Amino acid sequence: MRIETGRYRNTNRDRRLEKHERRCVLCMSGDVEDEKHFVLDCVVYEDLRKKMFEVVKRVLLKNEEIEDEMNSEAGRQRILGAILGDGGEESEGRTDLRRAAMEYCRRAMKRRHGVVVSELDQRT
């Protein structure tokens, strides 16, 4: 993600990007491409996110509506923390949550790589 790769120069002519310049090159929303954007917000991964959110809804939210949680910053942080593994979620569903998060990341990064390298012809 650009939040990390923007710290380094790709070539001798490049410069280190400031944090606010490390924007997502896929959705062009102007948001910084960090973990939160990647997991919760980028529209390029919306279809992949739905599958992961089904598990989040079942394990973390006990079948409550995920939209309610996504509308508050505290709810978004709770979901992000559970997906990234802060240890706060119940242990009985932790394996399912980890599996869903890893599958999401694997597929999303594969898609990201395909778009960035093949279509945009960039190194990020």
Tokens representing 52 are 């992961």
Rounded CA separation 75/67 (Å): 9
23 φ/ψ angles, rounded to the nearest 5 degrees:
-80, 155
Tell me the domain boundaries of the chain: 2-119
At 50-108, the pLDDT tens digits run: 999 999 999 988 888 899 999 999 999 999 998 988 755 556 788 999 999 999 999 99
Rounded CA separation 21/93 (Å): 37
Whole-structure pTM over 0.85, yes or no?
no
At 43-62, the pLDDT tens digits run: 999 999 999 999 999 998 88
